[in-house]
Chain A
Amino acid sequence: MKNSKYLPLMATFVVFVLAYIICISVFPNMLSTRVAGNLLTDNAFLGITAVGMTFVILSGGIDLSVGSVIAFTGVFLSVVLRDTSIHPLVAFAMVLVLTTAFGAAMGGVIFFLDMPPFIVTLAGMFLARGISYLLTTDSVPITHPFYSTLQDIFIRMPGNGRLTLIAIIMLVVFAVGIVLAQRTRFGTYVYALGGNLTSAQLMGVPVAKTTIGIYALSGFLAGLSGIVFSLYTSAGYSLAAVGVELDAIAAVVIGGTLLTGGYGFVAGTFLGICIQGLIQTYIVFDGTLSSWWTKIVIGLLLFGFIALQRGLMWMSERSARNKRHASAAQPSSA
């Protein structure tokens, strides 16, 4: 019974292993650190923002603004680096402050005006996208030499695979995210909010601070994801990263986090990202399949996981009922 909490996570793990086995049996070349390195690099920006999304969904919310914030970050960086002599590191700091404040503001609106996160972050999505257009509608290349320096950093793995800087950043974000969720008060508060808001309030959880903190974290990670995306593409474009918020939500749900909040793990989201990456890699290796197959498979997986979650909840409700009846039937000997 105790393991029911881990069941969706284990299901994700099984899906991942199965998918990997299928991939390798069709294309043995996929079993290499080079493919693994590329998979992590290609999905680094998605992974980073998905960590923020995991916290948001664990708390029972949703953040639709992250894709737009990623685009805004890229556009902001490219324009600042093109038009001013500000060093990229300073620009990074500036944009992270902006996106964190943006997330915190959305969290504040959600809590103080008691608005549904869906609507507030939808507004945030339009706002961030609109501001990106305002800055520029062109795709602006980033040619700063510091960018090339960063792009050239990597760790060589055995088997000649490259673990690039942005892949490392993603892995660090996941590691920090896991510790934050499992080993800090903030993390427990996030689970508490997702479990039952009234109870959390009565038990003394600082709901305002936590709500604002969650969306600030998501904003910060969307900003970091935008920086990584600009390193990945060497450009800023206001039409970039459309729909990334949905990919992030998909990764979180496939990773076993309950959409209604309260149950799930950051590590599961990592597996969710890897599963999405595997499907993409498979399609690239195959060469004849349309890339839309990624979406189709992701769609099917999502359905599968939602059904699994529903099934688990139904089962646990039923066993709780049976337990009650069993204890009621017991003779009152104690």
Chain B
Amino acid sequence: MANAQPLLSVRGVSKAFLGVSALESVDFTLKAGEVHALLGENGAGKSTLIKIITGAYRRDEGEVLLEGTPIHPRDVVDAQKLGIGTVYQEVNLLTNLTVAENLFLGRQPKRFGLTDIREMNRRSRAILDTYGLDIDVTAPLTNFSVAIQQVVAIARAVDISGKVLVLDEPTASLDAHEVKMLFAVVRQLRERGMGIIFISHFLDQVYEIADTITVLRNGRLIDTVPVPGLDRLKLVSMMLGRQLESDIKRTIDPNTARSEPLVSLRQLGKRGNIDPLDLDIRQGEVVGIAGLLGSGRTETAQLVFGIERPDSGTISVAGKPVNMTSPRKAIAQGFAFCPEDRKTDGIISDLSVRENIIFALQAQRGWMRPLARSEQEALADRYIAALDIRTSDREKPIKFLSGGNQQKVLLARWLATNPRFLILDEPTRGIDVGAHAEIIRLIIDLCERGMALLVISSELGELVGYSSRIIVLRDRKMVSELTGDEISTDQIMKAIASHGATGEAA
């Protein structure tokens, strides 16, 4: 076994985008008959590595060997032909075509120059039979559940490629029953000697199916370890990185803890997004949400802000129940929300700093009552000064500002509406160290002036620094609520790493 040639080996692969390094000299080895989980938080380089292996990106440096031969896939189709198939989270099949057509698209059997539909259906049934799937292959794919579509996608990938199978978050939209079915298929493929790369945010599932785990963080390889005997806490700390400095905590005025909550969630939840949870947020309080990517953090914020509609529970604001069915209603209640991905959900890149700042306030007033230009300018200037937004002038298009300054403009946009309750989703992602500290100072400052804040962050040290309370989410469930002295990065990581049963008890 020791000298058996690895199925796929990645050596010293690096990739940079516009000078920003996304992957630095990463090694990765996949053996035949192995399920190898690839773990890491956002920006760890997982998807970059996968895209290099599957031909979607070209590597800058390093080599990829398939069965000992260097490969240079030109595109996804080329990688498929070489033997590397991929199945994505949103199944990339064609739901308007039949199951058989999906399995054989581009390689339909022919007879007299025409597609031999009967032969195609017969072979499709034979293929799906090996997966224990007995379905009508002549029906359009849209008639079947996502889980079955996943299996069809896997069957196609295996049938075309047959050596390496990449499963990119295949279980994200499946329920427990469907995950079982999928895992049975994965185990069967492992027995057939395929190499399977498995990407998931669900640690329980990783422990259940994977033989080996490779952890990436910030584009670097952290470690490759066998699953048996791997301590969960160790795994989580590998993924998140342990903060070196001791936790610095803000002292909290004991009076706030006793005041009436401004926002109360009671059994608020949405199936498939986040399980029902209770939460109170008081004025002058920062509530932090911790958890791994995909644990339901953003989903929770979206429920509170009316972007997604809950299917259970209630929200009350200052004691009165509110029907939060749209962001407009949330804004009317004095809510504000800075989303995680400012590029797609936040800034309007061609508009100026001034226009971006007044945007939410203008929307709140209605377009029939425009802000006077002088008011707009005064407002923009005030926030540029207050938040120290570095821009040569307020009419500069926001796309020319750095990430940190764009983030501050977004904050200014919401602060201009004078909110009672501010939700920040990853406010410090992708901004430089100096701006980072300023944003944190601003969060503390807003809180001390009596605003209620809900902050989502992957930076645990930062969260510990400013939160009055922290709730920990895992696998779309709230597993723990930490207050006072319990708040520490250690406690958060323990809560994330805890098993299902102990987690619920905590």
Known A183-B115, A183-B117; contact A203-B140, beta-carbon cutoff 8 A: no
Residues of B with C-beta under 8 A to A4: 140, 143
A200 touches B143 (CB 8 A): no
Kindly state whether residue B344 has any CB partner on chain A within 8 Å.
no
- Residue among B76, B101, B105, B117 with the most chain A CB within 10 A? B105
B92 touches A2 (CB 8 A): no
Encode contact with B along A287-317: 1 for CB under 8 Å, 0 otherwise: 0000000000000000000000000000010
Residues of B with C-beta under 8 A to A199: 92-94
Residue of chain A at shortest CB distance from B95: A195
Kindly state whether residue A5 has any CB partner on chain B within 8 Å.
yes
A2 touches B96 (CB 8 A): no
Q: How far is the CA of A332 from the CA of B175 in the complex (A)?
A: 10
Selected contact of A202 from candidates B76, B114, B138, B146, CB within 8 Å: B76
Residue of chain B at shortest CB distance from A206: B106
Residues of A with C-beta under 8 A to B145: 323-324, 327
- Residue among B96, B108, B114 with the most chain A CB within 10 A? B96
Selected contact of B105 from candidates A194, A198, A203, CB within 8 Å: A203
B92 touches A202 (CB 8 A): yes
Kindly state whether residue A21 has any CB partner on chain B within 8 Å.
no
Residues of B with C-beta under 8 A to A325: 271
Kindly state whether residue A188 has any CB partner on chain B within 8 Å.
yes
Residues of A with C-beta under 8 A to B92: 196, 198-199, 202-203
Kindly state whether residue B172 has any CB partner on chain A within 8 Å.
no
Selected contact of A195 from candidates B96, B138, B139, CB within 8 Å: B96
A327 touches B178 (CB 8 A): yes
Residue of chain A at shortest CB distance from B104: A188
B94 touches A2 (CB 8 A): no
Known A191-B94, A192-B97, A199-B92; contact A1-B106, beta-carbon cutoff 8 A: no
Q: How far is the CB of B105 from chain A (nearest CB, A)?
A: 5
Q: How far is the CA of A1 from the CA of B139 in the complex (A)?
A: 9
Residues of B with C-beta under 8 A to A324: 145-146, 175
Number of residues on chain B facing chain A (CB within 8 A): 34
Known A188-B105, A188-B115; contact A328-B96, beta-carbon cutoff 8 A: no
Residues of B with C-beta under 8 A to A200: 94
B105 touches A332 (CB 8 A): no
Q: Quick one: which of B132-159 are within 8 Å of A by CB? A: 136, 138-140, 142-143, 145-147, 156
Q: Quick one: which of B202-243 are within 8 Å of A by CB? A: none
Q: How far is the CA of A325 from the CA of B146 in the complex (A)?
A: 12
Q: Quick one: which of B101-133 are within 8 Å of A by CB? A: 101-102, 105-106, 108, 114-115, 117
Residues of A with C-beta under 8 A to B156: 203
Kindly state whether residue A18 has any CB partner on chain B within 8 Å.
no
B143 touches A1 (CB 8 A): yes
Selected contact of A185 from candidates B95, B108, B178, CB within 8 Å: B108
B178 touches A2 (CB 8 A): no
Kindly state whether residue A84 has any CB partner on chain B within 8 Å.
no
- Residue among A2, A188, A263 with the most chain B CB within 10 A? A188
Q: How far is the CA of A237 from the CA of B143 in the complex (A)?
A: 50
Selected contact of A204 from candidates B80, B95, B136, B146, CB within 8 Å: B80
A2 touches B143 (CB 8 A): yes
B181 touches A191 (CB 8 A): no
Q: How far is the CB of B162 from chain A (nearest CB, A)?
A: 15
B177 touches A330 (CB 8 A): yes
Encode contact with A along B175-217: 1 for CB under 8 Å, 0 otherwise: 1111011000000000000000000000000000000000000
Residue of chain B at shortest CB distance from A199: B92
A205 touches B106 (CB 8 A): yes
Selected contact of B177 from candidates A202, A205, A320, A327, CB within 8 Å: A327
Return 5 A-B CB contacts under 8 Å, by A number. Answer: A182-B115, A188-B97, A192-B97, A196-B95, A327-B175
Q: Which 9 A-B pairs have the closest CB atoms?
A: A262-B96, A195-B96, A195-B94, A332-B177, A183-B114, A204-B77, A199-B92, A328-B175, A2-B139
Q: Which residues of B contact A (CB under 8 A)?
A: 76-77, 80, 92-97, 101-102, 105-106, 108, 114-115, 117, 136, 138-140, 142-143, 145-147, 156, 175-178, 180-181, 271
